[in-house]
A and B are shown apart, each in its own frame.
Chain A
Amino acid sequence: MPKLEYDFAMTCEGCSKAAQRNLAKIGVNDVEADLANKKLYVTTDIDQEKVLEALKKTGKEVSLSKVH
């Protein structure tokens, strides 16, 4: 499964939890948050557009930076 790396403008645990919660709503549960580096790692087969959309709903700036 691809591991998607996002630059996510999170500033606190509230942001990373909100991202995880929104991803869980679309059935994505393998999420790692690196708060210090503002990185989010999402491992999933789900369409990347859907993942990005769920992350954008948090109100924070987000962009896909790499696919591992």
Chain B
Amino acid sequence: RQTTVIDIEGMTCNSCVKNIENTISNAKGILNIKVSLENKEGIFTFDPELTHPEAVADAIDDMGFDASVNV
């Protein structure tokens, strides 16, 4: 398992956080998610054989939030 930090712009409240966590938890290879409204980022643990950081950022971007891989 690997972990990536993704910068997320556009979240305004906790329902945004929950929406992203719920939607991305269904994405392939995602093992754990912690999204922070304050830090405008999400920490994602994933199976590197099933997905990669850019794919996770793309999935968040598809939801309408500006997302880019930080680490």
Contacts and interface: CB of A to CB of B under 8 A. Distances in A.
B48 to A, nearest CB: 25
A19 B16 contact: no
Contacts of B13: 11-12, 14
A57 interface: yes
A64 interface: no
A12 B12 contact: yes
A15 B63 contact: no
Contacts of A19: 64
Interface string B12-24: 1101100110110
A21 interface: yes
Task: For chain A, give the interface size range.
Answer: 10 to 19
Given A14-B10, A59-B23, A22 B15 contact: no
Majority secondary structure of chain A interface residues (helix, strand, loop or mixed): helix
B16 A15 contact: yes
Given A12-B15, A17-B64, A18-B63, A59 B22 contact: yes
Nearest to A17: B10
B64 A22 contact: yes
Given A18-B64, A19-B64, A59 B19 contact: yes
